Amino acid sequence: MLDIGCGRAALLERIAETHGYRCVGVDRNEHIVLDARRSLMNTELAERIDLRAESFDEAAFSDASFDVLACLEATHAVSDLRGVLRTAGRLLRPGGVLVVADGHWRRRPDEEYLAFLACSEDDIGTLESNAALAREAGFTVERTHETTDDEWSRYEDMYAANILAFVDAHPEDPDAAEFRTHISAWRQAYLAWGRTTLGFAVYQLRLLP
């Protein structure tokens, strides 16, 4: 299994422990990866989970080398959803599973929100158009879970709290100041526009033979 943007590798730990998979996790934040490595140290899982503190480079992996690929809220680590679908189409074995999570428009976005996100309306799809992209890329859509308003709110609360906890714990991180500034602005934008405009969904996709 490959997890792009693995963070502290909690998903990989569960998969390796439950299913016995050999796993690779890639995340560009060195401090987060080091924390994950420390938690795995001296455990049986350490031999089955390879954590890499680097930007994702598709060229580092061979064709059809994974049974499962995950990219949860990290499509930007590749490029975008379309890029993740293309990458997974090469790296997965036929019949392999892609679990990808990404945002979608719930309604037409305000111009101020687009300016904050530095994107155009066309840069983000709808729930339906994201599923259509997956089918066009050679996947079947096995399951879709769209977050509820309560789930979205809890996630945003935890996201902000976790970012602030991380920068408080790692003031030496070169990105700490940027993280703190980002999460403050992100929180304000979420409250002003995001919670009524931007949705989020997890798609379980299977690569056709």
pLDDT digits (tens, 9 = 90+) for 38-82: 999 989 999 999 999 999 999 999 999 999 999 999 999 999 999
pLDDT digits (tens, 9 = 90+) for 104-141: 999 999 999 999 999 999 999 999 999 999 999 999 99
User: Domains, the chain, ranges and CATH?
Assistant: 57-207 (3.40.50.150)
pLDDT of residue 38: 95
Q: What is the DSSP string of 68-102?
A: EEEEES-GGGTSSHHHHHHHHHHHEEEEEEEEEEE
pTM of the model: 0.88
Token pair for 177: 């100041």
Tell the residue number behind the tokens 């080398």, with chain if given. 65
